[in-house]
Amino acid sequence: MSTYTAPRRQWERAEERDSAVFLKLFSLFAGITIPFVIGIGAWLAISAHDAKKDAQAAATRAAASPATSAASMPGMATSGAAAAAAGAAAAGTRATPSFAGVAPANADALAAARKAYPAELPAAPAGPVAVVNLSIQHRAVSIAPGIHYDAWTFGPTAPGPVIHVREGQTVKVVLRNDAPMPHSVDFHAAQIAPNVAFSDVMPGKTKTFSFVASAPGVFMYHCGTAPAFMHIANGMYGAIVVEPKNLPPAQHEYVLVASEWYLNSAGLDGAASLDLTKAEQMTPDWVTWNGFAGQYKAHPLMADPGQTVRFWVVDAGPSLNTDFHVVGTVLQRAWLNGDMVDAPQHEIQTAMVPAGGGGVFDVRIDKPGIYPFVSHSFASVQMGEVGLLNVGHVAGTMSH
Ligand SMILES: [Cu+2]
């Protein structure tokens, strides 16, 4: 017992001594640091006040003289509205109100008269090398009936052209920048050093790089110039199909690229630009298949009963996923995530296609009718991500 007690008392005494020393040291430390901390606090308060004043002044300047502000920001929007939005965001102001569903009185006539983005998968070039020419442009595009947007594009449309190659082909990309600011292209199908291949191309310049399309599936390509978020939101994306060997045949193959649009105005009278705050909050005005709300309602995709229809789906985002679903059937084959190395899954009701990802889906419909294809995340349908597959060339339409 004694052999146990004595060491314990020694330990207690040692602790008391340590406590006394600690209290002295703490008093000394506090005496030095508390006034210092108070001083830092006061300095931070003054700095925050100054920063707020600076941000407000910057926002006012951006709104007053948008073109100059945009030009002074490398990699940022050249449009005044986007620059103003960036300035406003710095000041902590809010996004513009929603313009979802805004439509002129003649919206149906405009939708019918407009030629739809071609969803049919184009043929893959023959030979070992597929040459892909992409020209980058800044141009106004139409994203819904009567709604215009100042887009940045690959080619004349957003999305850019559908690229179709075969597994194992070498893809030679020739990228020409006809826009007034740096841009680039990032191919998700490539396995390549991105700092070299995907680097910026200056206005008026061309760059060439090649990669071997060794991974089959359907992939996104997009501008990767910083901030890539803004470049994608402005329309710089498209789909590349890398067709695997020994794929079961399909009578119709359609490519669908989903994306969201975030507008700083309705886009009815003049073209809208990006509302960056709205994009950051992921509250789009429009969500589209192939860049135009509801275009395959006015111009349905066609098939005959009993035919296999293959959908090659990419979700370009920039931020929302697509939950692919065809009303009135199931996805008989579903290559989820665009994985075409492994066998597909079967009889799926809804398949998620993530932002920046793809999926390949076969349906075979025996009964004539009109079958909507949607994102079953239904807010996106409300904002335009809906089209129709007309099986058997039947009359009529269907809303969803
Ligand atoms: Cu770009």
Tell me, in angstroms, the distance from the centre of ligand 1 to residue 219's CA.
18
- Structure-token pair, residue 106: 């003649």
CB environment 176-198: b (16+ within 10 A), e (fewer): bbebebbbbbbbbbbeeeeeebb
Helix (H) or strand (E) holding 130: strand 129-144
Q: What DSSP assignment string belongs to 149-218?
A: EEEEEETTBSS---EEEETTPEEEEEEEE-SSS-B--EETT--S-HHHHT--B-TT-EEEEEEE--S-EE
Confidence tier at 69 by pLDDT (50, 70, 90) = very low
- Structure-token pair, residue 130: 């597929």
Residue 100: pLDDT above 90?
A: yes
Question: Using one digit for the tens of pLDDT, what is the confidence trace for 33-68?
Answer: 444 434 443 343 334 444 444 434 333 333 333 333
Tell me, in angstroms, the distance from the centre of ligand 1 to residue 248's CA.
36
Residue 363: pLDDT above 70?
A: yes
DSSP structural state of residue 55: H
Confidence tier at 29 by pLDDT (50, 70, 90) = very low
Mean predicted confidence (pLDDT) in 196-222 = 97
Tell me, in angstroms, the distance from the centre of ligand 1 to residue 251's CA.
36
Residue 379: pLDDT above 50?
A: yes
Residue 303: pLDDT above 90?
A: yes
The total number of residues written for the chain in this structure: 400
Tell me, in angstroms, the distance from the centre of ligand 1 to residue 391's CA.
39
Tell me, in angstroms, the distance from the centre of ligand 1 to residue 192's CA.
19
Tell me, in angstroms, the distance from the centre of ligand 1 to residue 202's CA.
10
Residue 275: pLDDT above 60?
A: yes
Tell me, in angstroms, the distance from the centre of ligand 1 to residue 225's CA.
5
* Residues whose CB falls within 8 Å of the CB of residue 82, separated by 6 or more in sequence, listed in order: 70, 76, 230, 264, 273, 274, 276
Instruction: For residue 374, give the nearest of 307, 245, 306, 287 by alpha carbon.
Output: 287
Q: How many helices (H) and strands (E) does the chain have?
A: 9, 19
Confidence tier at 91 by pLDDT (50, 70, 90) = low
Tell me, in angstroms, the distance from the centre of ligand 1 to residue 200's CA.
8
* Residues whose CB falls within 8 Å of the CB of residue 308, separated by 6 or more in sequence, listed in order: 248, 249, 250, 251, 252, 362, 363, 364
Confidence tier at 87 by pLDDT (50, 70, 90) = low
Q: How many CB atoms lie under 10 A from the CB of residue 104?
A: 14
Mean predicted confidence (pLDDT) in 58-79 = 34
Q: Over the chain, what is the mean pLDDT? A: 84
Tell me, in angstroms, the distance from the centre of ligand 1 to residue 296's CA.
28
Tell me, in angstroms, the distance from the centre of ligand 1 to residue 120's CA.
26
The residue assigned the tokens 């007034």 is: 180
